[in-house]
Amino acid sequence: MKHLVLATDKVDERGLAELAEADDFLVESIDDSTTPEFAQALARAHALIVRSATTVDAAMIDAAPELRVIGRAGVGVDNIDVAAASERGIAVFNAPSGNTVAAAELTMALILALVRDLAEADRSMRDGRWDRSAFKGVELEGRTLGLIGAGRVGGEVATRARAFGMEVIVHDPYLSDERADDLGFRLTDLDEVLESSDVISIHVPLTPETEGLVGEDALAKMKDTAYLVNASRGGVIDEPALAAALRDGKLAGAALDVYETEPLPGDSPLRGAPSLVMTPHLGASTDDAQVRVAREVADRVRDALVDGEVSAALNHADLG
């Protein structure tokens, strides 16, 4: 019997190639999960691989009686009802390392764009102006980067920031002092990160504990000259509070790649906020990363279906 793997959301086929070429697998790619063709394939699928566009809710899981594995070609599983999958004994995997470099490099790009005011300078040039004196930035060397969270991506950002001559301090309750020493930064509490950092970069998942973590009170503790960057998960920052802080000059600037609601609503207060650089969730949007995350999750799907290997599943403890 062939294992049917259904892929959607334009999961990179190069990353699925090895799975597709295996004799005991059939890979079917249907990029629109709202079509009748997708529903028909889902009813027969043993594995489902998605990115972020498809919401794998309880109804979708109920419509897939043969489903044994759900793979997320990326890190976050906000779009997957993990509890509903667990009730059915379906293993849920993500690809935690494939987009690490892409996300870290985007974070550094956003930091550099902020401190040198590159987006505004580009706009002025396209408007026919030569406002050289209006764009006096600051240098990263000698300044302090504060990380809120220092997992895979945060650690890579720290490495790159140190190469720019920055001191790095970190708030991460799950990180050991030994690991911090290995990465060359100092662990501290959240208040010191907020109060002492010249640039603050967020690298935490969205959980009940982190939702709204950077709100009015946290923003008030930051330096007026500080910059805030979030390329992790929307919802960690209170967006109306951030927009207000930028309007009131309580921050030098901010850069966001993720938002509480995506796509960003037309009436979002962020759209009119000054000193704000915004990108449309590009953290994993490199050709290299898309191949890596597809290959990583495909490997886990294969191991689960062929060997029953589910130790890396996010819901492993609930699978019995």
- CATH number of the domain residue 66 falls in: 3.40.50.720
Residue 205 resides in a domain? yes
CA–CA dist 304, 320 (Å, integer):
14
Domain check: are 188 and 232 in the same one?
yes
Mean predicted lDDT score pLDDT of the chain: 95
Q: Domain range holding 43?
A: 3-98+287-314
Domain check: are 153 and 72 in the same one?
no
Segment (H or E) for 109: helix 100-115
Confidence of residue 271 (pLDDT cuts 50, 70, 90): very high
The terminus-to-terminus CA distance of the chain in angstroms comes to 25
What's the Cα-to-Cα distance from 140 to each of 80, 187, 200, 254, 257, rounded to whole Å?
Answer: 38, 20, 12, 15, 21
Confidence of residue 179 (pLDDT cuts 50, 70, 90): confident
Confidence of residue 178 (pLDDT cuts 50, 70, 90): confident
Domain check: are 297 and 209 in the same one?
no
Active site residue 195: no
- pLDDT for 131 equals 93
State the catalytic residue, choosing from 209, 262, 271, 309.
262
In 3D, which of 116, 171, 164 has the Cα closest to residue 146? 171
pLDDT cut 90: percent of the chain above it? 92
Active site residue 262: yes
Residue 151 resides in a domain? yes
Active site residue 18: no
Q: What is the DSSP letter of 80?
A: B
Domain check: are 186 and 211 in the same one?
yes
Domain check: are 243 and 296 in the same one?
no
In the predicted model, is pLDDT for residue 1 greater than 80?
A: no
Residue 87 resides in a domain? yes
Q: What is the DSSP letter of 265?
A: P
Q: What is the side-by-side strand order in the sheet with 3-7?
A: 25-29, 3-7, 47-50, 69-72, 91-93
CA–CA dist 180, 320 (Å, integer):
35
Radius of gyration of the chain (CA): 21
What would the mean pLDDT of 55-60 be, rounded to a whole number?
Answer: 97
State the catalytic residue, choosing from 233, 295, 300, 302.
233
Following CA atoms 222, 227, 231, 235 in sequence, which dihedral angle do they give, to the nearest 10 degrees? Answer: 40
Domain check: are 149 and 194 in the same one?
yes
State the catalytic residue, choosing from 116, 152, 281, 316.
281
CA–CA dist 166, 146 (Å, integer):
10
- pLDDT for 279 equals 98
Domain check: are 114 and 228 in the same one?
yes
CB atoms within 10 A of CB 248: 10
